[in-house]
Amino acid sequence: MKTIKTSAADRCASPGLISVEQAIEKILVQAVPVEQVEQVDILDALNRVLAEDLHSTIDVPGYDNSAMDGFAVRSEDCQVSGSVLPVTQRIPAGQVGTALEAGSAARIFTGAPVPEGADAIVMQELCQQVDDEKQGNMVTVNTVVKAGSNVRRAGEDIAKGCVVLRAGKRLRAQELGLLASVGLAKFNVKRRLKVATFFTGDEIVTPGQPLAAGQIYNSNRYTLRGLLQAMDCEIIDLGIVPDTLEATVNVLEQAAAGADLVITSGGVSVGEEDYVRIALEKLGELSMWRIAMKPGKPVAFGKVGEALFMGLPGNPVSVFVTFLIFTRALILKLQGAEDYHAKRVPVIADFDWPPIKRQEYLRARLVNKDNKVMAQLYPHQGSGVLSSASWADGLVEVMVGKEIKKGDIIDYLSFEGLF
């Protein structure tokens, strides 16, 4: 029997539509990371992308030190529980003691250097210290001590000369702490990405203004700004653009002149009032796709001058979802980040879903049910229902033609990992 191999396009059951996977590929292939770098102070480096490999010039920790408040000893002196030793010195953090004589102990505190000769720390809870005129300063160690216990070794976190972080790493809070721990105060990062936005639609109005009949508020602007801010982009906001070809062409030209990337919402369908597509064709190159995806079927991608262009749909949930699935990866790659693919984690469905023709992104939440992590859905999954995105903590990805039954393992994309 002959097996027929199907391409991703064939598997997508809607003719004329391309798959999500293909769309991501087509977008990323055009994304060339920005080249310019700038030096930043570590205080201003959150979310920036590292432009160089950073090495450590020191060991971290820089010296063997105590992991506990307790007593530094030679383990050979404490091979039976109840060993009694004279306490000959006191070493708080920030001070260096003297070599520990055989048969003695040093009072020591967390972070203080382990004195020469000592090879273990006994936590104070296992010791009894007596300091009086009759006996002098003595400690009874109520445990058998193993060499190396409670000692943090020099260089166990980072060894001198090692690469601490590589170019392409996006700096989160923990990376900033790590760089600080090796004493780095300034380093090179990629320059910030300039993203121009505008929002099409004669019906949309800025919040704070009254609404006339037939008008709606421009929610997409705020969703998009929030996403772009979270991704540390420099935003050039060109506001609301009326549904005319002339206005759209003008603003698109202006947007492309000053930005690395232009992102718009609405006007990318094939309706009579949709001018983004035509404006793009006039000024640059258009790759207009109907993507086998729900929400977010129409997405325009292309180039105007030096700027890349991404025309997101108008529906508020579609904007949010298409940004997370396409624009996010595009921005990360342009920013020079190494890691731009969204992570899926397997969870258990707490719902049924029929087989579908377009890959779906359902707004979902994880709950703990009988000690299992299960995904539940917002009851109304319409592409205009923005409450679903606010209620949710992530997206469930449903592949074409795959029926989901309660209890099935499914792929979940947490918003936490996305922005």
Report DSSP state, residue 252. Answer: H
82 burial level (CB within 10 Å; 0-12, 13-18, 19+): exposed
Q: Looking at the DSSP assignment, which residues form a beta bridge with residue 347?
A: 410
Query: Do 413 and 360 meet the contact criterion of CB atoms below 8 Å apart?
Result: no
Instruction: Assess 311 for contact with Mg ion (CB under 5 A).
Output: no
Of 38 and 202, nearer to Mg ion (C-beta) is 202
Could you give the CA distance from residue 280 to residue 282 in angstroms, rounded to a whole number? Answer: 5
Write phi, then psi, for 120 (nearest 5 degrees): -160, 155
Of 248 and 335, nearer to ligand AMP (C-beta) is 248
Binding to ligand AMP, residues 216-245 (CB under 6 A): 216, 218-221
Report DSSP state, residue 134. Answer: T
**Contact pattern from residue 207 through residue 246 relative to Mg ion, giving x for each residue in contact according to CB under 5 A and a dash for the rest:** ----------------------------------------
Using the contact rule CB under 6 A, the part of the chain among 92-100, 188-196, 226-234, 265-273 near ligand AMP is 265-273
Could you give the CA distance from residue 119 to residue 115 in angstroms, rounded to a whole number? Answer: 9
Instruction: Assess 323 for contact with ligand AMP (CB under 6 A).
Output: no
Tokens of 97: 């003691």
What is the closest distance, in whole angstroms, from the C-beta atom of residue 288 to ligand AMP in the complex? 13
Instruction: Assess 264 for contact with ligand AMP (CB under 6 A).
Output: no
What is the separation of C-alpha 223 from the centre of its chain, rounded to a whole number of angstroms?
18
Tokens of 278: 């035509």
Of 150 and 315, nearer to ligand AMP (C-beta) is 315
Task: By CB under 6 A, name the one of 47, 150, 248, 315 that touches ligand AMP.
Answer: 315
Could you give the CA distance from residue 211 to residue 199 in angstroms, rounded to a whole number? Answer: 17
Instruction: Assess 394 for contact with Mg ion (CB under 5 A).
Output: no
Of 66 and 200, nearer to ligand AMP (C-beta) is 200
Question: Could you tell me whether strands 345-349 and 372-377 are parallel, antiparallel, or unpaired per DSSP bridges?
Answer: parallel
Residue 200: C-alpha distances to residues 212, 216, 222, 359 (Å): 17, 12, 14, 26
Residue whose Cβ sits closest to ligand AMP: 314
Q: Taking CB within 5 to 8 Å according to partner kind, which of Mg ion, ligand AMP, none is near residue 106?
A: none
Q: Taking CB within 5 to 8 Å according to partner kind, which of Mg ion, ligand AMP, none is near residue 277?
A: none
Task: By CB under 5 A, name the one of 97, 201, 302, 313 that touches Mg ion.
Answer: 201
CB burial string 189-214: b at 16+ within 10 A, e below: bbbbbbbbbbbbbebbbeeeeeeeee
Query: Do 163 and 54 meet the contact criterion of CB atoms below 8 Å apart?
Result: yes
Q: Taking CB within 5 to 8 Å according to partner kind, which of ligand AMP, Mg ion, none is near residue 220?
A: ligand AMP
Instruction: Assess 143 for contact with ligand AMP (CB under 6 A).
Output: no
Instruction: Assess 298 for contact with Mg ion (CB under 5 A).
Output: no
Task: By CB under 6 A, name the one of 61, 266, 284, 394 that touches ligand AMP.
Answer: 266
What is the closest distance, in whole angstroms, from the C-beta atom of residue 216 to ligand AMP in the complex? 6
What is the closest distance, in whole angstroms, from the C-beta atom of residue 277 to Mg ion in the complex? 12
**Contact pattern from residue 266 through residue 285 relative to Mg ion, giving x for each residue in contact according to CB under 5 A and a dash for the rest:** xx------------------
Instruction: Assess 204 for contact with ligand AMP (CB under 6 A).
Output: yes
Q: What is the DSSP string of 77-131?
A: G-SSTTEEEEEEEEE-TT----PPPTT-EEEE-TTPBPPTT--EEEEGGGEEEEE
Residues lying near Mg ion in the complex (CB under 5 A) are found at: 201, 266-267
Binding site for ligand AMP (CB under 6 A): 199-201, 203-204, 216, 218-221, 265-267, 269, 271, 313-316
